[in-house]
Amino acid sequence: MILRDQTSMTTYSDLYAKAQSDIEGFWMEAASGIDWYKAPTQALDSSKPPFHRWFPDGEMNTCHNAVDRHVAAGRGDQRAVIYDSPITGTSSTLTFAELQEATARFAGMLQRLGVAAGDRVIIYMPMIPEAVVAMLGCARLGAVHSVVFGGFAAAELAKRIDDATPKAIISASCGHEPSRIVAYKPLLDEAIELSSHKPHSCVIYQREALAADLVEGRDLEWHAAHEGAPALDPVPVKATDPLYILYTSGTTGQPKGVVRDNGGHAVALQWSIPNIYDVKPGDVYWAASDIGWVVGHSYIVYAPLIAGCSTVLFEGKPIGTPDAGVFWRVIQDHDVKVLFTAPTAFRAIKRADPDAEFLVKYDTSSLTHLFLAGERADPDTILWAQDKLKVPVIDHWWQTETGWSICANPVGIEMLPVKLGSPSVPMPGYEIDILGEDGSIKAAGDLGAIAVKLPLPPSCLPTIWRADAAFIEKYLTTFPGYYETGDAGYKDEDGYLYIMARTDDVINVAGHRLSTGQLEEVLAEHPDVAECAVIGVADELKGQLPLGLICLYPNCVKPVDEVCAEAIDLVKGRVGRVSAFNLVVAIDRLPKTRSGKVLRGTMAKIADGEEWAMPATIDDPVILDEIAAALKTIGYPK
């Protein structure tokens, strides 16, 4: 039984209080939402702090919960994976019964290659159904998968190969971008050449656009590898066994592999779908992200399927494939109930089609909610989306490390008042404090470091892969007894959280701490500003000064200098002269990671003339050259 059915008349406050006062009872009740081979008798094992483990004596299988149990319940003909690729002009569907057969054969193929439970498998693939099959097939066998974003640089892939030491790598011949085909196989070959660890086998899915050359004795073509493979039943694993390793974006030096366990992950994701997103079995859920990121893991693959929903696998972009109406077309074609994407996607759509002229061409009446996460959702973007779509727009906040929402508006329990700029309130199991540098708890409204009291709830990382000491040093040392999120913000009198910046993005101007988010929020209100970012640049007198980078709407008719001057006046008028906001430069586009995060730190280093490395996850490296040229026009670096 799903927890929401047991508490459908319960308020958020009641549910949150129950999770705080009876942690054992709350999560044991939530655990009844998944299938167990051996039901746990204990929710939390705190015998070896700070390494807390969930459901320590339980045994289950994540693939069984995502696939087989729905077939057994008579829903084998329901759509499980809906593949939509505007880039290639193709679409297809896998039912739960078909997904069961595909994952069983994939697991059998892996077993035949010598892969067993606990072995690692790297998945380096584009957004195609075979990638989902590979993830679930690994889970079915009990193997630990590590998805690396398709097309990732060879040197970065090599680091992940050496850290995860996979027995096998699953890849494809190429990926599709709107303007080009990216050959994956040469990158994979180079990565294996660079790495100290050598995988036993590579399985390559050949795409029509580009065939890859196979290395004899190591590489196998996807279909050939499957021929004659047995169909394996799910392998029982311990709840505390790892399901996957996910390396965080922007990693430099030694990769940081976030570990996700099987049991706590499945329980938390099952709980989240009906309670946070108000989605039930059979509904169509679409997370417009990529399987290379945590959103793709949690809300393209695992959460919707564990909860019995149909999930959309989208190989495209919010604009340019072919236009700014593609999201509306997908919602119409597949009866999408909930869309979850990054704010940057809607900023791109708003900039390309400010009047939403494409929207009227499609029937989006199936959509009930839009959820945003991945980067701070500015009020201007939320209001635009709300006005055009006529549905609630819900900001929520979580991290690769947590795997599901730290803060959200739990619309499946009750729709709380929406406060612009806030991802709302903590979800059950998360107790959040705003801390000063000395660890003291800040008062409501005061900016500080956002920290979560230990123990963290199910699904949150139990450690970093093969690096327990690094896990403690990075997350648990600065504030003893807390998990350090790395984000800065404040809580209001009602307990709503406001994420204002990464901790290292807070600007110290002559002793005054200013958040980049606060300044960006004001800049975004200018009617000609489509996107913006604020960075801190070094200053001999004040320590740091804020510098705004703005992208204008294509239909802006004002001179650029005039818009920049108005933007400065807007910030000074709203924030005050204490902001020392006098620097604005107009640029064509912001540099972002493939997951949509703006590379503020890299831009700050360019402005300060410091050495910087090309981020491995950058969407388009050429943008940084454009940023450097634009900064020179206003005298940076000094």
Q: What is the pLDDT of residues 410-429, one digit of tens each?
A: 999 999 999 999 999 999 99
Q: Which two tokens stand for residue 484?
A: 């350090």
pLDDT score recorded for residue 510: 67
Give residue-wise pLDDT tens across range 28-57: 999 999 999 999 999 999 999 999 999 999
- pTM for this model (two decimals): 0.88
- Report percent pLDDT > 90 for the chain: 82
Encode 57-73: b = buried (16+ Cβ within 10 Å), e = exposed.
ebbbbbbbbbbbbbbee
Lowest mean pLDDT among 295-299, 532-536, 541-545: 541-545
Give residue-wise pLDDT tens across range 92-131: 999 999 999 999 999 999 999 999 999 999 999 999 999 9
Give residue-wise pLDDT tens across range 303-320: 999 999 999 999 999 999
Q: Where in the chain is the domain with CATH 3.30.300.30?
A: 506-632
Question: In whole angstroms, what is the distance from residue 388 CA to residue 355 CA?
Answer: 8
CA dihedral 109, 111, 114, 117 (to 10 degrees): 140
Give one word for 253, left, alpha or beta, with left for phi > 0 and alpha for psi -120 to 50. Answer: left
Q: Where in the chain is the domain with CATH 3.40.50.12780?
A: 3-316+396-488
State how beta strands 425-426 and 407-408 pair.
Answer: antiparallel
Q: Which CATH number fits domain 3-316+396-488: 3.30.70.1450, 3.40.50.12780, 3.40.50.300, 3.90.550.10?
A: 3.40.50.12780
At 43, which amino acid appears?
A
C-alpha closest to that of 355 among 384, 332, 329, 317:
384
Give residue-wise pLDDT tens across range 319-354: 999 999 999 999 999 999 999 999 889 989 999 999
pLDDT score recorded for residue 108: 98
Give residue-wise pLDDT tens across range 583-636: 999 999 999 877 678 888 899 999 999 988 887 777 778 899 999 999 999 999
Q: Which two tokens stand for residue 470?
A: 């690094």
pLDDT band at residue 9 using 50, 70 and 90 as cut-offs: low
Residue pair 82/334 in contact by the 8 Å Cβ criterion? yes
Beta strand spans in 315-457 (E) = 338-341, 369-372, 393-395, 407-408, 425-426, 432-435, 448-453
**pLDDT, the chain, mean:** 93
Give residue-wise pLDDT tens across range 436-450: 999 999 999 999 999
Question: In whole angstroms, what is the distance from residue 553 CA to residue 434 CA?
Answer: 37
Please say if the pLDDT value at position 7 is more than 60.
no
Give residue-wise pLDDT tens across range 136-173: 999 999 999 999 988 788 888 999 999 999 999 999 99
Please say if the pLDDT value at position 250 is more than 70.
no
pLDDT band at residue 2 using 50, 70 and 90 as cut-offs: very low
Arithmetic mean of pLDDT, 346-364: 95
* CB contact set of 323 (below 8 Å; sequence gap of 6+): 352, 353, 358
pLDDT band at residue 578 using 50, 70 and 90 as cut-offs: confident
State how beta strands 201-205 and 168-172 pair.
Answer: parallel
Q: Which two tokens stand for residue 449?
A: 């470091």
Please say if the pLDDT value at position 63 is more than 90.
yes
pLDDT score recorded for residue 617: 72
CATH architecture for residues 506-632: 2-Layer Sandwich (3.30)
Give whole-number Cα distances, 188 to 191, 192, 204, 257, in Å.
5, 6, 10, 19
pLDDT band at residue 132 using 50, 70 and 90 as cut-offs: very high
Residue pair 345/318 in contact by the 8 Å Cβ criterion? yes
Give residue-wise pLDDT tens across range 595-606: 678 888 899 999
Tokens 């901790």 -> residue = 503
In terms of Cβ atoms closer than 10 Å to its own Cβ (0-12, 13-18, 19+), residue 610 is exposed
Arithmetic mean of pLDDT, 248-254: 55
C-alpha closest to that of 482 among 423, 433, 427, 424:
433
Lowest mean pLDDT among 195-204, 378-387, 515-524, 551-560: 515-524
pLDDT band at residue 575 using 50, 70 and 90 as cut-offs: confident
State how far Cα 6 lies from the chain centre: 29
In terms of Cβ atoms closer than 10 Å to its own Cβ (0-12, 13-18, 19+), residue 251 is middle
Peptide bond into 621 cis (omega under 30): no
pLDDT band at residue 511 using 50, 70 and 90 as cut-offs: low
Q: Which two tokens stand for residue 253?
A: 């030096």
State how far Cα 374 lies from the chain centre: 6
State how beta strands 180-183 and 174-177 pair.
Answer: antiparallel
